Amino acid sequence: MSYSASFRCVAGCHGTYPLDQVIYNCPECGELLEVHHDMDALRNRSGSAWIKLFDQRWMTRDWPYGSGVWGKKEWVQPNLREENVVSTAEGGTNLFWAERYGKTLGLKDVWIKNCGNSHTGSFKDLGMTVLVSTVKQMIEDGKPIRAIACASTGDTSAALAAYCASAGIPSVVLLPKGKVTTAQLVQPLANGALVCALDTDFDGCMAIVQKLTNEEGIYLANSMNSLRLEGQKTVAIEIVQQFDWQVPDWVIIPGGNLGNVAALAAGFDMMFELGLTSKRPRLCLAQAEKANPLYRAYKQGWDSFEAMTAEATEASAIRIGNPVSVRRAIRALKAFDGVVEQASESELAEASAAADRAGSYTCPHTGVALAALEKIRAKGLVEPGQRAVVIATANGLKFTQFKIRYHENEIPEVQSKHPNKPISLPSEFEAVKAAVFKELEARAT
């Protein structure tokens, strides 16, 4: 059976463009493009036959189908030849039952989908494998591509650099100088990317990379390129698969450029349309208060979206004031009875720390999503019997300074409620024993 997909305008203009054409916007109206699958061809299998196929491939060594993304290849990039897949066995990340954390909210069924437990430590791997694989095929087919470029708040560049290095394709990364963590800066350097640190913010880098990729031979890897969203949508399929094909009631996701929430919705839509599921979850998009243009638009009844200049936030990967995918995000949230919440610096830091005390190790963006869950729970939108899944977008290990500063009580605008510092002691048994018992006593109360 032959499946196929092509680019189409999100605003509904008529043209269709092959996935291996270098094109990011609709030539008629300038809007973004999205990947459109031949759904009739995909209907040749029933919902239960797709489930059977996906379960057969799940986490196997059958390359590349053991990858969480490529196990769904027919739904992701059917036009890709197997030999061009550039994979790090992405996806298949653990779904953590945050039992103790959930209890503090009066919920029994809170789960954290740990997308940060991935090759480069964020969900960006899910999309980058699709984009870089497609470019590899374009190069094999003789397209004149010299390099792949992106603007990044830190995680896109880490993923791009790793997949490009793995494929032997040069990568170019534009980062806002001083606004990504040390770990995120080191990642593309280690992978041999050409790294440019620009004296601007993410939105400034984004404007320049769009011009750079209008030049001949430099391909754009930001999420305005919909190939990435095709990989990212598999997170929805994985979550449902990990619950034995049951759809949760709520999914909470942090958003910056807003591609990922659109991808999440696309994954749920596709499962519903192809008969694997019989309902959609509600979605909650979570923003940092310092970078909250979508929250503001939501509060105004969606009518008036206005870009803003995002301020500094610990959730640096979502410090974006002019999100490229705003239109598709609004469309997705409307279709999924969605809500938008925001988190202050204090709220995101405390939520992250609370989840950590219950066994997670969350990044600040996951803290934003957890704080949003706490708010929609307090408002009664999430009910006690309901199942909620929080998307953890990156690995907490990339954000060591955020953790250290929380526990040192040094984050601006945050008065840390539960700092935990090491106790310095001499190397003497009696002193250690006294300190341990004293501290256990103090912590028990």
Ligand X SMILES: *Cc1c(COP(=O)(O)O)cnc(C)c1O
Q: In this structure, what token pair is assigned to residue 87?
A: 């994979």
Among 13, 95, 167, 196, contact with Zn ion (rule: CB under 5 A) = 13
Contacted by 155, from ligand X, Zn ion, none: CB < 5 to 8 Å by type = ligand X
Q: Which residues lie across from 176 on neighbouring strands? A: 198
Nearer CB in complex with ligand X: 221/317: 317
Give the bridge partners for 218, in sequence order.
147
Closer Cβ to ligand X, 126 or 388, answer by number: 126
Closest distance of CB 94 from Zn ion, Å: 40
Whether omega before 64 lies within 30 degrees of 0, making that bond cis, reads yes
Exposed (0-12), middle (13-18) or buried (19+): which is 61, by Cβ within 10 Å?
Answer: exposed
Q: 196, 204 in Cβ contact below 8 A?
A: no
Does 59 engage in binding with Zn ion (CB under 5 A)? no
Taking residue 108's Cβ as centre, other Cβ atoms within 10 Å add up to 13
Alpha carbon distance 257, 253 (integer Å): 12
What does the per-residue mask of binding to Zn ion show for 184-203, with x meaning CB under 5 A?
Answer: --------------------
Cβ closer to Zn ion: 25 or 386?
25
> What angle do the packed helices 400-407 and 182-190 form, to 10 degrees?
160
Residue 18 or 106: which CB sits closer to Zn ion? 18
Instruction: Name the minimum Å distance from CB 420 to ligand X.
Output: 24
Residue 177 CB, shortest distance to Zn ion, in Å, is 35
- Rounded least distance, CB 13 to ligand X, Å: 24
**Binding of Zn ion by 11 (CB under 5 A):** yes
Alpha-carbon distance 183 to 179, whole Å? 12
Q: Which of 5, 7, 8, 9 binds Zn ion (CB under 5 A)?
A: 9
When the beta carbons of 13 and 196 are compared against Zn ion, the nearer one is 13
As measured in angstroms, the least distance from the Cβ of 220 to Zn ion is: 18
292 binds, among Zn ion, ligand X, none (CB under 5 to 8 A by kind): none
List Cα–Cα distances, 140 to 83, 85, 392, in angstroms: 10, 12, 35
H or E element in which residue 195 lies:
strand 194-198
* Least Å from the CB of residue 8 to Zn ion: 9
Nearer to ligand X (CB atom), residue 84 or residue 191: 191
Which residues within the stretch 23-42 sit at the binding site for Zn ion (CB under 5 A)? 26, 28-29, 31
Cα dihedral 180, 183, 184, 185 in deg (nearest 10)? 80
Nearest alpha carbon to residue 236 among 123, 157, 84: 123
| From the list ligand X, Zn ion, none, partner contacted by residue 196 (C-beta under 5 to 8 A by kind) | none
The piece of 10-18, 71-79, 179-187, 342-350 that touches Zn ion (CB under 5 A) is 10-18
The site partner of 26 among Zn ion, ligand X, none (C-beta below 5 to 8 Å per kind) is Zn ion
Q: How far is the CB of 56 from ligand X (least distance, A)?
A: 30
The site partner of 11 among Zn ion, ligand X, none (C-beta below 5 to 8 Å per kind) is Zn ion
Residues at the contact surface with ligand X, assessed by CB under 6 A: 122, 124, 155, 223, 254-260, 317-318, 363, 365, 393-394
- Closer residue to Zn ion (CB): 195 or 229: 229
Closer residue to ligand X in complex, CB, 248/367:
367
Residue 88 to residue 100: CA distance in whole angstroms: 32
The two three-digit tokens of residue 59, written as one number? 């986490």
Instruction: Check: CB of residue 261 under 8 Å from CB of residue 285.
Output: yes
Query: From the list Zn ion, ligand X, none, which binds 394 (C-beta under 5 to 8 Å, kind-based)?
Result: ligand X
- Choose the contact partner of 29 out of Zn ion, ligand X, none; CB within 5 to 8 A by kind: Zn ion
256 is in the binding site of which of ligand X, Zn ion, none (Cβ under 5 to 8 A by kind)?
ligand X
Using the minimum distance from each CB to ligand X, give the nearer residue, 109 or 238.
238
- We find the least distance from the C-beta atom of residue 318 to ligand X, in angstroms, to be 5
Question: What are the residues facing 251 on neighbouring strands?
Answer: 283, 389
Pick one of Zn ion, ligand X, none as the site partner of residue 319 (Cβ within 5 to 8 A by kind): none
Query: What tokens were used for 133?
Result: 């694989």
Helix axes 326-335, 259-273, angle to 10 degrees: 40
Minimum distance of ligand X from residue 189's CB (angstroms): 18
Question: Which has the closest alpha carbon to 65: 87, 44, 80, 45?
Answer: 87
3-state helix, strand, coil in the chain (%, to 5): 45, 15, 40
Phi, psi angles (nearest 5°) of residue 82: -50, -40
Q: How far is the CB of 127 from ligand X (least distance, A)?
A: 9
From the list 329, 360, 394, 389, the residue with the least C-alpha distance to 126 is 394
* Dist CA 219 CA 195 (whole Å): 16
Point out which residues bind Zn ion (CB under 5 A): 9, 11, 13, 26, 28-29, 31
